[in-house]
Structure 1
Amino acid sequence: MSCDQQGLLPLATAIEALLSDLEPVAVTESVDLLQARNRVLAEAIHSRVDVPPADNSAMDGYAVRMLDLIAAGEDWLPVSQRVPAGQAPGPLQPGTVARILTGAEVPPGADIVVMQELAEVKGERVRLPLGAVPGQNIRRRGQDIHSGGLLLPAGRRLDAMAIAVLASAGIERVSVYCPLKVALLCTGDELVPPGQPLAHGQIYNSNRYLLHGLIETLGMEVVDLGQVADDPASLEQVLLRAAEQADAILTTGGVSVGEEDHLRPAIERLGELTLWKINLKPGKPFAAGVVEGTPIFGLPGNPGSALLTFALLARPCLNRLQGDTAIKPFSVTATAGFSRERRIKREEYVRVYCEADGTLQLASQQSSGALSPMLHANGFARLPANQPVELGQALDFYPLDGLVR
């Protein structure tokens, strides 16, 4: 893997290297559609039916044969049947029309539906205007989905829309990957659980709650191992337990070069450290490797850094392990509503609010130790390394919803 001149791994290279070593944890189960939201398909699904299953009316009106409509001209046509949705129609009698409601099956022989607002009605007779074309206001059989066609590929995460499409094709159950088990542990003797009093030098542990929620949002199961003391022996013991209980391990803190940063050497003793230090701000001391054959992703301890490295690095890896094929961070091009002369040597992701016109405004607080600005920002803007930012410059914008959901 090629690094830049500072010895830091470029972000894109790091992502590719991480993903290349991972394969889905291939444990599957069959679930009912109502229990399938946020699950990942383990196999492709093809439709067994046409949708709609027959030609049907797109609106309330009158079904008629075009030749009969032309022959009638300005004359009245009798109504020979009424066709509500859910009932099979009879063949359309020559020289007549059928009263038809939205969604109802078009009678055999009819090739036009004239909307009711255009019809003159007198008892059981109607007069319809000329000018219609064959197929008007008719939803053709298989217009939405063809029998045998691919509905969804393997690796698709099921949202409400995907589930609705499956239901429309009569699919009742799907084969999905079992939820990935992710062991979560936080290091740092300065961390205190919420609800406890703070002593000097202590802070509340927000990372546990942040990452717990992000993992669950991905439809995965959290194996919460709590907080671990800044002690090599304690850390190694918990890491071994995590490797035994989970499919992947996620940690925060202890990945830098301080005297109390024990995670990196612990990984090296128990397995293999495959990646460390990313050309990224914030989040440089991200680490990855394996412990007893289980992938481990070590996030920095600062909450802002933990959020960003989870979104850009850990989340794609967890999704790959879950079998999800949509793993690349989503971005769009937006316009900088700010400028910056200062050049930094690392690729930087700054907190921004993208306005309705696509203009990016900087959040007031960019400290990696602060989380509350993300309540008001709605994403990150990527600032290339070693370049200034000019007002109006095109930048990559990463919506927060696309990074953590």
Structure 2
Amino acid sequence: MTISNEISGAAAPSAPNPLPVDTARALIRRAVTPVAMVERVALRSALGRVLAQDIVSPIDVPAHDNAAMDGYAFDGAALARCVDSNSTPASAVHAPLTLAVAGEARAGHPFERVCRAGECVRIMTGAPMPSGCDTVVAQEFVTRNGSSISFDDQHIARGANCRRTGEDLARGHPALAAGRVLRPADLGLLASLGVAEVPVRRRLRVAFFSTGDELRSIGEPLETGCVYDSNRYTLYAMLTRMNVEVLDLGVVRDEPAALEAALRAACESADVVLTSGGVSVGDADFTARMTETFGDVAFWQLAMRPGRPLAFGRLWPNGRDESAGSALFFGLPGNPVAVMVTFYQLVREALVTMSGANADTPLQFAAESSVAIKKRPGRTEFLRGIATRDAAGKWSVAATRSQGSGVLSSMSEANCFIILAHDQADVAAGAPVDIMPFDGLV
């Protein structure tokens, strides 16, 4: 079944009604599958990669009971003998406990013999607990007198300050699950298990280019009516943050032959093809028409602002020859803000899933709108907002001064999206709105 058929006739590419954002998201989710290839990389090269298989702990961590702090290790049974035998349970008087220091244990240098009743061992953090000991009293609670110590047992309970074998990870138990994007703590965890190589998914390959006769690259002269191409730089940065393999194919002019050649070359070398510009209804928007000859496009327009002209489908380098492979296609709008909004609201999740990672749900919560917002039902709107929190912890948000889809400075100024739902109408000042912070997303 083609992607366009999965819409079940609700909205074909030529349909006049734009597709709701939630419908488009659902369609994209059904179309994406993770890359299948798995490779093994050295632990230090695994940061940001997607774990391809569950990691099961081959050892106990820690491998032995050990001290959680510097102090003195002893048999905690001695604590029960500190209560004055002449007192009643209700008025128990705790006598100081005195123990003879039998030796010392340091990390890598254990105390070799059994610690007997009435004895203790000077112990350092991380050192193996001596045989016969199950409790550590912190050194600050102890008074040392030559070869013995004494302390008030009210400062300590049996088993205190002792890390147990397998307390962090037990042998044979899962340590990390497949689909995890490996973070610095994960690399340290794997190192603690003695894992030198990690099975990860192949990096997703994403090719992108901009379209338009008016676009110039940085360093080229800027003629009248022309603009510097910013979309390739924002796309490059957004993709690089996702740790995918990035293929920048430059600027392609508004010429059918050039566009077709660029699209075919892109889908031969990449898993996903992104373009910016050329997907609206203008006479020079050839990208949409080109994909009809060697692609399957599910939708051209979305009921969203900014980002109405957005195409999604699949491309084949040689007609629809499945044996030659294919690539998912996202035809993004040309306006710079619309490129970023559509990427974060629709493309990013698809790339995460295709990379083999567990798709996360971006943080979203309610804030009070500090101003009234005009909104007509029938489309989802993503305003650029500046959210602040007062001393009481209450969040409020205001839209940036300009909301034009070509005003890229509004994205630099903002720290969140204000999300106005498809069926939502005008928002009164002081009413709650949903916001999606940029932190961790952008």
TM-score under structure 2 normalisation?
Answer: 0.87
3-state SS of paired residue (1:148): coil
Aligned match of 1:228 in 252, 257, 282? 252
User: 1:186: which partner in 2?
Assistant: 210
Instruction: Give the deviation of 1:75 after TM superposition.
Output: 5.3
Does 341-350 or 109-118 show the bigger shift? 341-350
User: What fraction of aligned residue pairs are identical, expressed as a percent?
Assistant: 38
User: 1:345: which partner in 2?
Assistant: 378
Instruction: Give the deviation of 1:87 after TM superposition.
Output: 2.4
Matched, 1:311 2:344: yes
Q: Deviations over 1:24-65 (max 9, x none)?
A: 121121011110111111111111122222222121111111
Which letter does structure 2 place at the counterpart of 1:112?
Answer: T
Which letter does structure 1 place at the counterpart of 2:352?
Answer: N
3-state SS of paired residue (2:166): coil
User: 1:87: which partner in 2?
Assistant: 109
Matched, 1:210 2:234: yes
Aligned counterparts of 2:401 and 2:104: Cα–Cα separation in 1: 65
Aligned counterparts of 2:68 and 2:368: Cα–Cα separation in 1: 42
User: 1:403: which partner in 2?
Assistant: 441
Aligned match of 1:74 in 92, 96, 103? 96
Contact 1:69 1:128 in 2 (8 A): no
Instruction: Give the deviation of 1:365 after TM superposition.
Output: 2.2
Instruction: Give the deviation of 1:172 after TM superposition.
Output: 1.9
Describe the shift of the 1:98–1:392 C-alpha distance in structure 2 as closer, same or farther (beyond 3 A): farther
Aligned match of 1:16 in 26, 30, 41? 26
Q: Deviations over 1:128-163 (max 9, x none)?
A: 211222211112222222222222221111121222
Matched, 1:325 2:348: no
Aligned match of 2:58 in 40, 44, 48? 48
Contact 2:77 2:158 in 1 (8 A): no
Matched, 1:284 2:322: no
3-state SS of paired residue (2:153): coil
Instruction: Give the deviation of 1:70 after TM superposition.
Output: 4.2
Aligned counterparts of 1:271 and 1:380: Cα–Cα separation in 2: 33
User: 2:265: which partner in 1?
Assistant: 241
Matched, 1:198 2:236: no
Contact 1:182 1:247 in 2 (8 A): yes
Any residues of structure 2 matched to 1:346-385 within 5 Å, and which? 346-356=379-389, 357=393, 358-385=395-422
Larger Cα-atom Rg: 2
Query: How many residues are paired up?
Result: 404
Matched, 1:38 2:53: no
Which letter does structure 2 place at the counterpart of 1:164?
Answer: G
Which consecutive residues of structure 2, in runs of 5 or more, have no partner in the other structure?
A: 1-6, 83-94, 317-325
Describe the shift of the 1:75–1:17 C-alpha distance in structure 2 as closer, same or farther (beyond 3 A): closer
Any residues of structure 2 matched to 1:113-262 within 5 Å, and which? 113-131=136-154, 132-262=156-286
Aligned counterparts of 2:164 and 2:344: Cα–Cα separation in 1: 44
Which consecutive residues of structure 1, in runs of 5 or more, have no partner in the other structure?
A: none
Aligned counterparts of 2:202 and 2:274: Cα–Cα separation in 1: 19
Which letter does structure 1 place at the counterpart of 2:397?
Answer: L
Does 248-257 or 126-135 show the bigger shift? 126-135
3-state SS of paired residue (1:297): strand
Which letter does structure 2 place at the counterpart of 1:19?
Answer: R
Aligned counterparts of 2:234 and 2:415: Cα–Cα separation in 1: 16
Does 133-142 or 203-212 show the bigger shift? 133-142
Aligned counterparts of 1:393 and 1:88: Cα–Cα separation in 2: 64
Aligned counterparts of 1:45 and 1:394: Cα–Cα separation in 2: 43
Aligned counterparts of 2:109 and 2:334: Cα–Cα separation in 1: 64
Does 376-385 or 35-44 show the bigger shift? 376-385
User: 2:321: which partner in 1?
Assistant: none
Contact 1:30 1:173 in 2 (8 A): yes
3-state SS of paired residue (1:402): coil
Aligned counterparts of 1:20 and 1:52: Cα–Cα separation in 2: 43
Aligned counterparts of 2:214 and 2:438: Cα–Cα separation in 1: 29
Contact 1:70 1:130 in 2 (8 A): no
Instruction: Give the deviation of 1:92 after TM superposition.
Output: 1.6
User: 1:394: which partner in 2?
Assistant: 432
Aligned counterparts of 1:391 and 1:97: Cα–Cα separation in 2: 69
Contact 1:363 1:377 in 2 (8 A): yes
Aligned counterparts of 1:325 and 1:167: Cα–Cα separation in 2: 23
Describe the shift of the 1:338–1:57 C-alpha distance in structure 2 as closer, same or farther (beyond 3 A): farther
Aligned counterparts of 1:64 and 1:93: Cα–Cα separation in 2: 9
Contact 1:312 1:329 in 2 (8 A): no
Aligned counterparts of 2:388 and 2:22: Cα–Cα separation in 1: 27
Aligned counterparts of 2:371 and 2:161: Cα–Cα separation in 1: 51
Which letter does structure 1 place at the counterpart of 2:334?
Answer: G
Describe the shift of the 1:11–1:50 C-alpha distance in structure 2 as closer, same or farther (beyond 3 A): same
Aligned counterparts of 1:341 and 1:313: Cα–Cα separation in 2: 24
Aligned counterparts of 1:92 and 1:389: Cα–Cα separation in 2: 72
Aligned counterparts of 2:351 and 2:209: Cα–Cα separation in 1: 16
Does 130-139 or 217-226 show the bigger shift? 130-139
Aligned counterparts of 1:14 and 1:92: Cα–Cα separation in 2: 69
Contact 1:335 1:393 in 2 (8 A): yes
Aligned counterparts of 2:64 and 2:254: Cα–Cα separation in 1: 67
Q: Deviations over 1:175-197 (max 9, x none)?
A: 11111111111101111111222
Aligned counterparts of 2:363 and 2:147: Cα–Cα separation in 1: 58
